[in-house]
Structure 1
């Protein structure tokens, strides 16, 4: 909160909205990277496990497609429910602020002045800023100052669900193709290499978007993915054709 307030005090109102829009886009990019990462790991673990049990193509293809479709639907549904809850909360806050501005405009103006005084502006400047912003767009001014909310940027659950499903599908296609296209003796090593390289890329991109150094997050993702592949491959190899018939 202190960081947000100091940033608000040191930059003009339009600049704040631009920064928040950029942050929102970065959040979407991070969600896309995580969705792709989930698609890579979960689908790769599934097909490698089945490929460890049999060299037949049909079971691997069936497992991979089922994992891709089920995972994409699950990711989309989860994202839709989550973002719908966020949207409902945002709409409720906007409705409440709209009602307060209609029923008690003077009290709301005084509250806005107090917010800007608390952020370091002099009483005269805070009063001027509050009045000018209220004259321009009172709802936007109060939502930004009090709630850090942009009324024109309410969360869209359908867009979130679609983006999540698409990113998961793109990630899942990589291990599916890597396990199906090479000859039988090369399927597992090719899939391991392709998946670990892809995980290294998503880990580095995620770290970059998060503003951290790329090495440690990338190693975490790669090591975690490698352990998942090794575990499912070992289980598939141990069970072998006894389970598959």
Structure 2
């Protein structure tokens, strides 16, 4: 008997307490709940698979467990969210039943369920190792802002790109749309295992973009084009925006 798609998919949410710009970020209150619980609820609303939170502090573990979500403790010394979810995957699914892992960052409390579901679509192509998301840039300032990571990609359809490069520069040159990369990844299990086994790559270190490690290793990343950018909470101002968004949804 084959497994239903939801049983083959894990949504993993890495959460770390060591944020310099927003201390104790996972526990910040948003509309009456800690941020990490709001993220877990958004992931649960997507209804794509089991949700597991990967934490590095006992206080966050206790909060997540009390809210009724699966949670695993991971090392405080991981260099990236990918490393953290790989450790969590081994603990949460030691028998290897999950074939697909969605990495939803722990600071996306307003991410929409449809955006999470969209991250699965590129894996319809068996040649795709990793899926991610992108949105067309409409703000002229963002086109030259190095904090807005751009995807250079070859169109596969009206809603999908085969990624060729990720960059902080304004690229590609010439007339045509530019695409803002959204850092939500969906991995085939074997692709995640390969990715975390690789050392940092030259272009990754130069651009300070972890996903370039996969491209330099010959892995294929396809990006689904969506129409909204999830709010990443990195600063107190972002936190206030997230509170306003979720309070407006509740009302």
Question: What TM-score comes out, normalization by structure 1 length?
Answer: 0.22
When Rg is computed on C-alpha atoms for both structures, the one with the higher figure is 1
Bigger proportion of residues as helix: 1
Bigger proportion of residues as strand: 2
Question: What TM-score comes out, normalization by structure 2 length?
Answer: 0.22
